[in-house]
Amino acid sequence: MSIRVNDLVHIYQAGTPLATEALRGVTLEIQEGEFFGLIGQTGSGKSTLIQHLNGLLKPTRGSVEVDGQNLWERGTNLKAIRQKVGLVFQYPEHQLFEETVFADVAFGPRNMGLPEEEVKERVEEALAMVGLDGEIADRSPFELSGGQKRRVAIAGVLAMRPKYLILDEPTAGLDPMGRQEILGEISALQQQGVTVVLVSHNMEEVARLVSRLAVMHDGRLIAQGTPAEVFSKGELLEEVGLALPQIAQLMHRLRERGLDIPVDIYTVEEAREAILRVLGPKQGKTARFLTL
Ligand code: ADP
Ligand code: MG
């Protein structure tokens, strides 16, 4: 089971002088259960790509399949696809509109025609998943903090119990603490079996979490693989204006200075070990001292 994107092209306002080719032939497969990262600078086509994954946008060319089902074949139930593939937009809190948190989170399940008892169960479950106290359900979403509003909006998608969860820059605009909390909750969801696609323009954030990632530039995927595989292409990433995680930059610089260090390193722990290894036991002691 997977989401497959085959040679996807998307042109906004095709056939007009304002035509923009936002996707120029993207091929990609996201496997069930994985934690997938999608990175790229603003304007590279990330949001356009993910809006194809649940059928919000229609390909100009190419195809999208969810668990083997082509979204744009006759007879495909797009409503069912949108329950299966939950999409959390960037700044999703801008789309809160109900009088209470409960009503907002309940909107999707109610729309699915579920009995009110199950709606209630799902709302409670979804709020808990994003770390919100059940008591918040009676409050107005507009009284909440920015981070809480964002959680409510994410809960609204979770209440549909999607198999695939796609989040478009879920940490944008949050403070470092708020970012860490949301990322922690997203990781927990993935560990519980939800397939997660995390969209970000921040390498540092994505690198530590995902098992695989794809890098977009100008409507194309320019790299794909495990974080280690992708970060080993440091120059390519720099060319397209994506900063490597700081630790990977340091490894590259040490290598340029002649240290025999692998470049596919992106956590501080791994870096420490690699440096100690090349410095040898004696100098290693000094290095250890220096890091204290
Ligand atoms: P990202 O999410 O990586 O910032 P987008 O998918 O939003 O990238 O945008 C890709 C390209 O498509 C950009 O050139 C952007 O200006 C253009 N674009 C995005 N949305 C629209 C739209 N609704 N109409 C026309 N052009 C758009
Ligand atoms: Mg975007």
The reply to whether 206 falls in a domain is yes
pLDDT tier for residue 261 given thresholds of 50, 70 and 90: confident
**Is 48 near ligand 1, meaning CB less than 6 Å away?**
yes
Nearby residues for ligand 2 (ion, Cβ within 5 Å): 46-47
Whether residue 292 sits in one domain with residue 183 = no
Number of domains composing the chain: 2
> 3-state class of 6 per DSSP?
strand
Written as one letter, the residue type at 231 is F
Whether residue 250 sits in one domain with residue 144 = no
Range of the domain at 290: 245-292
Whether residue 169 sits in one domain with residue 31 = yes
The reply to whether 275 falls in a domain is yes
Whether residue 158 sits in one domain with residue 290 = no
Q: What is the pLDDT of residue 283?
A: 59
The last residue of one of the domains, among 226, 254, 274, is 226
Whether residue 262 sits in one domain with residue 179 = no
Protein residue with its CA nearest to atom 20 in ligand 1: 48
Whether residue 182 sits in one domain with residue 268 = no
Whether residue 120 sits in one domain with residue 250 = no
**Is 11 near ligand 1, meaning CB less than 6 Å away?**
no
> 3-state class of 168 per DSSP?
strand
Angle between helices 146-158 and 116-129 (to 10 degrees): 130
Token code pair at residue 187: 């990781």
Whether residue 200 sits in one domain with residue 70 = yes
**Is 169 near ligand 1, meaning CB less than 6 Å away?**
no
Q: What is the pLDDT of residues 80-96, one digit of tens each?
A: 999 999 999 999 999 89
Contact 147, 178 (CB under 8 A): yes
For residue 219, the domain's CATH number is 3.40.50.300
Protein residue with its CA nearest to atom 23 in ligand 1: 12
Whether residue 261 sits in one domain with residue 171 = no
Whether residue 123 sits in one domain with residue 24 = yes
Q: What is the pLDDT of residues 226-258, one digit of tens each?
A: 988 888 887 788 888 777 777 777 887 888 888
Overall pTM > 0.85: yes
The reply to whether 233 falls in a domain is no
Whether residue 7 sits in one domain with residue 150 = yes
Q: 97: exposed, middle or buried (C-beta count within 10 Å: 0-12, 13-18, 19+)? A: exposed
